[in-house]
């Protein structure tokens, strides 16, 4: 995904405030072999780009003065209540260095699983993204997780996810979190019929004597 940025000459709170008034958003690009670079972006274009999943979870092509470089979105600061991006940070990507990145998980097939289709279980998603390690060229935009094999009393953990070639999950502290929960269907209480209720009433009276 490609976006256009512009070099920013001035920094500081006052300069950033004046920049936002003109419809621009201040930002910075850091990392890699170069020094930190101050940039500015068109706010409306940036606002629409931030609504796209790929802008958050893939290697981006940033163009400045006709030159392109590979970057990752690292941080975004929003106004507390206005639809306004206050500041944005990008990190340069080294094509020869592995990176750690959180990628979205896209679940499919849950309605066809034995747990839901056969046993009427309730499946709840617990984890929506997974941290992975890979070379920049192998970074997936998202990882698809097939739930069609879920069964009652079963489980699905991070280590069970099939990742693309060259991509591995980053598991910290030996943890292997569950991605979904599988709850058994609630048992419904059946109300007694009129005949059963009438028969139970005399028995209840005898018990009180």
DSSP-derived secondary structure for 130-188: EEEEE-GGG--S-EEEE-TT--TT---BGGGS-PPTT-EE---TT---BSEEEEPPPPP
CATH architecture of 2-92: Beta Barrel (2.40)
195 falls in which pLDDT band (50, 70, 90)?
low
pLDDT tens track for 133-190: 999 999 999 999 999 999 998 889 998 999 999 999 988 777 888 999 999 887 655 5
Q: What is the pLDDT of residues 91-133, one digit of tens each?
A: 999 989 999 999 999 999 999 999 999 999 999 999 999 999 9
Give the residues across from 60 on adjacent strands: 71
Distance from C-alpha of 166 to C-alpha of 23, rounded to nearest angstrom: 41
- Choice among 71-80, 172-181, 195-204 with the minimum mean pLDDT: 195-204
What is the predicted pLDDT for the residue at 203? Answer: 52
Kindly report the number of other CB atoms within 10 A of residue 147's CB atom.
20
For residue 151, the model assigns a pLDDT of 93
Q: At residue 160, what are phi and psi to the nearest 5 degrees?
A: -85, -10
Residue 97: helix, strand or coil by DSSP? coil
A 10 A CB-CB count for 207 gives 7
Q: Where in the chain is the domain with CATH 2.170.120.20?
A: 99-183
Phi and psi, residue 169, nearest 5°: -75, 145
pLDDT value of residue 137: 92
Locate the DSSP E strands across 15-137.
Answer: 24-30, 37-42, 60-64, 67-78, 85-92, 99-108, 122-125, 129-134
Task: Classify domain 99-183 at the CATH superfamily level.
Answer: Ribosomal protein L25, C-terminal domain (2.170.120.20)
| Range list for CATH 2.40.240.10 in the chain | 2-92
State residue 188's pLDDT score. 59
């Amino acid at each position: 995904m490609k976006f256009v940025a512009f070099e920013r000459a001035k920094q500081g709170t006052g300069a950033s405030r004046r920049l936002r008034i003109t419809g621009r958003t201040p930002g910075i690009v850091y990392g890699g072999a170069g020094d930190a670079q101050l940039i500015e972006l068109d706010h409306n274009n940036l606002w629409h780009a931030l609504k796209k999943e790929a802008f958050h979870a893939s290697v981006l092509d940033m163009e400045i003065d006709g030159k392109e470089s590979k970057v990752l979105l690292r941080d975004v600061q929003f106004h507390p209540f206005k639809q306004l991006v206050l500041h944005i940070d990008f990190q340069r990507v080294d094509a020869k260095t592995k990176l750690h990145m959180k990628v979205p998980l896209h679940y499919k097939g849950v309605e066809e699983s034995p747990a839901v289709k056969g046993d009427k279980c309730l499946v709840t998603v617990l984890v929506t993204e997974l941290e992975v390690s890979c070379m920049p060229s192998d970074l997936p935009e998202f990882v698809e997780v097939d739930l069609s094999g879920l069964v009652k009393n079963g489980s699905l953990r991070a280590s069970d996810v099939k990742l693309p070639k060259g991509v591995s999950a980053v598991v910290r502290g030996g943890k292997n979190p569950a991605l979904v929960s599988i709850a058994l269907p609630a048992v419904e209480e059946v109300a007694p019929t009129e005949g059963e209720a009438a028969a139970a009433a005399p028995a209840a009276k005898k018990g009180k004597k």
